[in-house]
Amino acid sequence: MNYRMMRAGLALIGLVVVSGCGMTTTTAERFARDIEFAHGAGSWRAHEALSADIVVTFMGGTMLEGRMTFTTDMSRARIETTAGPVMVFDGERAWLSPASAEVEMARFHLLTWPYFVAAPYKLQDPGSHLSYLGTMPLDDSGTEYDVAELTFDAGVGDTPDDWYVCYRDLATGRLYSMAYIITYYQDTAKANAEPHAITYHDFENLRGAMISTTWKFWH
């Protein structure tokens, strides 16, 4: 991904590549704040938008390729595909240009890929609930991670029945992986039977914000 972050109309060129006692802060809040600190949340929120070249491939085929731009609060998004059609999310509705363009699940693309970029900064959003689960391994390697589950109130976003299990790297403090379900195009029972996972790799420092430039998906 080739990233740019924008503030006050000025484009900042980023990177080029091909995700206690006596305290009122809860364990879940500390989990989220540790991740935000490791990812440079202050720098992220100081900018209005991020722009990136994105290529998403599944099963050897290209699912999406183009230029993605979205506000850091995720209120608006735009994807200019290399095939020509442009997708736009205005905060409520998803649009296609030209109107005759045929893009499957345009709204899904506009909301999903920006969310995977912004996930480290979204753990304490209104309507979100983070429950700390403890320290545990992610796979057979035995490496342990700090783990918390993220759920949502009814009516939050397009898919409030989605859940994410977030794994924080104990060495770097960064968000390393999320197990999740997708209820956008299927019911919750089927989604729970087919969980997915994303792992974040190749982090780059983009003016203080630590951004993953390579994602791997697991099914």
Judge whether residue 13 has pLDDT over 50: no
Cα–Cα distance between 41 and 208 in angstroms, integer? 8
pLDDT in tens, 54-101: 999 887 888 899 999 999 999 999 999 999 999 999 999 999 999 889
Q: What single string gives the DSSP state of each residue in 133-179?
A: EEEEESSTT--EEEEEEEEE-TTSSS-TT--EEEEEETTT-SEEEEE
Cα distance from N-terminal residue to C-terminal residue, the chain: 23
Query: Which H or E run contains 111?
Result: helix 106-118
Position 18 in a domain: no
pLDDT in tens, 148-168: 999 999 878 777 889 999 999
Position 23 in a domain: no
Domain containing residue 198? 2-12+30-218
Angle, CA 69 vertex, CA 191 and CA 168 arms, to 5°: 50
Phi, psi of 33 (to 5 degrees): -70, -35
- The CATH number of the domain where 166 resides is what? 2.50.20
